[in-house]
Structure 1
Amino acid sequence: MSTYVITGSGSGIGRLVAERLAARGDRLVLVARDAARAADLIAAFPGSTPIVADLADPASLAAAVAAAELPETVDAVVHAAGIVELGAVADLPLDAWTSQLAVNLVAPAELTRLLLPRVRAARGQIVFVNSGAGLTAHPDWAAYAASKHGLKALADALRGEEAVHGVRVSSVYPGRTATPMQEAVHEQEGAAYDPDRFIDPASVATVILTALDLPRDAVVSDLSVRPGPR
């Protein structure tokens, strides 16, 4: 049985990854923003361990990790949580920048730092669920793309730093995926939402599990996932 720490397990890609891992008997440590969400996750995933912390407040993570009953080794951390607020640079308020940078970049960096001793002990893996916006920035996506470009930089640097400890680092870059976040994006864009046009989140979950289960002689460093032909 392996131990996986997952953010964003309440919905979308993170939820499906948690379901797949739980179904095969792995131990889950799930990050929840408050006690109520933690109770919901424990009910959905019996036997899981919560870390109660709001990723919008990265400074809260150290105390939350210290308070959680964590094993000595962690086989992988899957960073699947994220938020998005669209807008032109001329119009975006300061908190749209700071909130997206906090949740999408600073919190993953801090949680990774806090868990690295346990991941090193397992010669484990860090998986960052990035975005196509982490590779290319389009109009109205500046803040979100900046946070995801930063996440790529974090992963690239970490991969080089942690190779000596046997830790693998993977970045997955999904294109538009039929998740609740995508539905919210369409609301912000004022566009009709048709989930059949986009990647099934189960397909992205399969890619993440493939990266996690890859034999130790290789690592998925960067992998883009795009909608297939219809």
Structure 2
Amino acid sequence: MALMATHVISGAGSGIGAAVARRLHARGDDLVLLARDAGRAKELAAALPGARTLVGDLADPDRLSWAFSHQTLPDRIDSLLHIAGVVDLGAVGDLTPKTWRHQLNVNLLAPAELTRHFLPQLRVAQGHVVFVNSGAGLRAHADWSAYAASKHGLKALADALRDEEHGNGVRVTSVYPGRTASAMQAKVHHQEGKSYDPDRWIDPESVATTVLTALDLPRDAEVTDLTVRPGR
């Protein structure tokens, strides 16, 4: 990773994304943080002074290109970090197309569109695309069909992108965290009807360490897939 590298990050407002953004900011890298609206952009910029923001709603991937056309984009991108995600549990017999579509839009279609949009800069920089996936991207359980389908699709996106862009020097990594202490995990426990104890699950900082390890690997190697499980 180049000195003063520029990272485009989705999901920087909480959980794993916030931990990754803080770590990169602390070491002096340039950050471009994706926000769903102007208010959220202001919050993110205040939390990480010096960071730039881009406004675009991942729930509406069809409009991302239009939104970016009205903003100043970074000239150089060394990494694109897909960390944003949404989850809504439910049995296949109960889930509506609206619930399916929201998870597919945010978790799969938006990362595909962001990647398409920023690939030219990533090729020039011989940059890195990191997809923070999920254990659900490798195996689906009852009530997880829509979320797991979006994350299985994200694995397919990453695998195909890696094959397509290897010759351009673009590295692609998928990270599959197990249950991580975050607002999303609290929501999952609520939907499962279980009490939530963050101490039982992975600290977002530990997943951030995993992401930075992949980013900082020397150019002669590429981490393709990393599974991170709770250690307690």
TM-score, normalising length from structure 1?
A: 0.98
Residue aligning to 2:136: 133
Aligned-partner Cα distance in 1 for 2:66–2:209:
33
RMSD: 0.7
1:173 to 176, 182, 205: 176
Give the share of equivalent positions with the same residue, in percent: 66
Amino acid at match of 1:153: A
1:158 to 139, 142, 161: 161
1:25 to 22, 25, 28: 28
Residue aligning to 1:197: 200
Query: Structure 1, unaligned stretches of length 5 or more?
Result: none
Q: Does 1:5 align with 2:41?
A: no
Q: Does 1:45 align with 2:53?
A: no
Aligned-partner Cα distance in 2 for 1:68–1:171:
29
Give the Å deviation of 1:65: 2.3
Amino acid at match of 2:62: A
Give the Å deviation of 1:48: 1.5
Secondary structure at the aligned position of 2:124 is classed as helix
Q: Does 1:183 align with 2:186?
A: yes
Number of matched pairs: 229
Amino acid at match of 1:67: H
Amino acid at match of 2:132: V
Q: Does 1:56 align with 2:59?
A: yes
**1:38–1:50: 8 Å Cα contact kept in structure 2?**
yes
**1:49–1:69: 8 Å Cα contact kept in structure 2?**
no
Give the Å deviation of 1:69: 2.1
Secondary structure at the aligned position of 2:95 is classed as coil
1:157-194 Cα deviation digits (max 9, x unpaired): 00000011100000000000001100000010110001
Residue aligning to 1:34: 37
Secondary structure at the aligned position of 2:77 is classed as coil
Secondary structure at the aligned position of 1:4 is classed as strand
Amino acid at match of 2:93: A
Secondary structure at the aligned position of 2:214 is classed as helix
Structure 1 range deviating more: 45-54 or 126-135 = 45-54
TM-score, normalising length from structure 2?
A: 0.97
Query: Structure 2, unaligned stretches of length 5 or more?
Result: none
Aligned-partner Cα distance in 1 for 2:70–2:122:
18
